[in-house]
Amino acid sequence: MKLVVGLGNPGRKYAKTRHNVGWFVLANLTQKYGISSPREKFYGELVEAVIDGEQILFLAPHTFMNRSGQSVLAARDFYKISEDDLLVICDDFNLPLSKVRMRPSGSAGGQNGLADIIRVFGSDQVHRLRIGIGPVPEGWDPSAFVLGKFSKDEKPLVEKSVLRAAQGVFLWASAGIDESMNQFN
């Protein structure tokens, strides 16, 4: 069993913000591969899925970004998910808009949800798929930027990156982190 976590913030206020791009990818994946209705569990929304014959859980934490670790830890520990079977999808303002990057480990790079997961796990050995939403415009506060919405001109690029990220998750689930990094980075 694998666990795919899409990071975002709950509530209407945040629904279409840059910070919720992880949830956009989960919505795409759920539509394609979901086999259960969403249910409230592990301080979030959980959907069961099957990708290439592999049982997958999609988790959208509802703990707000800065407390994502609580939700992910609860699900990981309940299902006894190994580090190689966990993938976190998140936004990254250090990457250009729509760039997709897969990594097996590393720093949070300024992403507070990923930072909380790393803190709670006590390890940076967390597979992650980052989706570029940047750069932060000069003079902007990064937190205001990530909580802002995409412009009309940016939306087609975001939609394209969501599709690409969903393909990356499929490859990660079916072939592993190394193969997905080779193809998507």
List the catalytic residues: 19
Alpha-carbon span 139 to 145, nearest angstrom: 10
**CB within 8 Å of 64: residues ≥ 6 apart:** 9, 10
Strands of 44-51's sheet, edge to edge?
39-41, 44-51, 54-61, 2-6, 86-96, 127-134, 100-103
Could you give the 3-state DSSP secondary structure of residue 39? strand
Q: Is 123 exposed, middle or buried (0-12, 13-18, 19+ CB in 10 A)?
A: exposed
Task: Provide the residue type at 125 as one letter.
Answer: Q
